[in-house]
Each structure stands twice: as structure tokens, then as C-alpha cells.
Amino acid sequence: MQCPNCGRFNYDYPKNHECPPMWQVGIYKDELEPTYGDDLLEAAERYVEDYHWSSAEWDRETTVYGIDADGQLVQILVTMEAVPTYSAEIKHA
């Protein structure tokens, strides 16, 4: 089952589940949003993955901003890769 807060899957949810910490991440320095991740880099990846589909302006690489564990504003380069997906179905002759 998927956690309604962090989105992670856990077959025993809510047993044995703890949401990862939230990090502040965003496209703009002054518009950071709370995003779950084990660390700031994972949170940046999740942020871009979540918002990539709502914007046609993303490139294969994009820079986002985040607040690191020391409270400093940092730039994070996130690289995206398209992965082909295959499906098959039986067609009747």
C-alpha cells in the first residue's frame, strides 16, 4: 500500500513505515516546497520527477535549489533520462 503522505510503497503500511524527512526544494530560490527524501539529493530528484510532467519546459538537466542539512541554500543539478517502456497484446487475425 502507498503512504498518502510521502508516496512510498510498503506492503505492511502503516506498520513498519516511517516517512523520510522533508527537505525544502524548488525551482526558484524564494519558492521552496517541502519534499520528502532520505537526503536532499533524493528530495530534489523526487521534486523534479513530480513536477516534470506538469511542465513542457524541462530539459534533460535542470537546476533546482534546496536547503542542505546545515541550513545553507544550494544549487542541485538533476539529470533526467527517458527509459523506453514496452507492452504487448494479442491481436486476433
Buried b / exposed e along 9-25 (16+ C-beta atoms within 10 A): eeeeeeeeeeeeeebbb
Q: CA 59 from chain center: how many Å? A: 16
Q: Name the domain count of the chain.
A: 1
* Model pTM above 0.95: no
Domain hosting residue 71, numbered range: 1-93
- Report pLDDT digits (tens) over 8-60: 776 666 777 888 999 999 999 999 999 999 999 999 999 998 876 555 555 67
Q: CA 16 from chain center: how many Å? A: 22
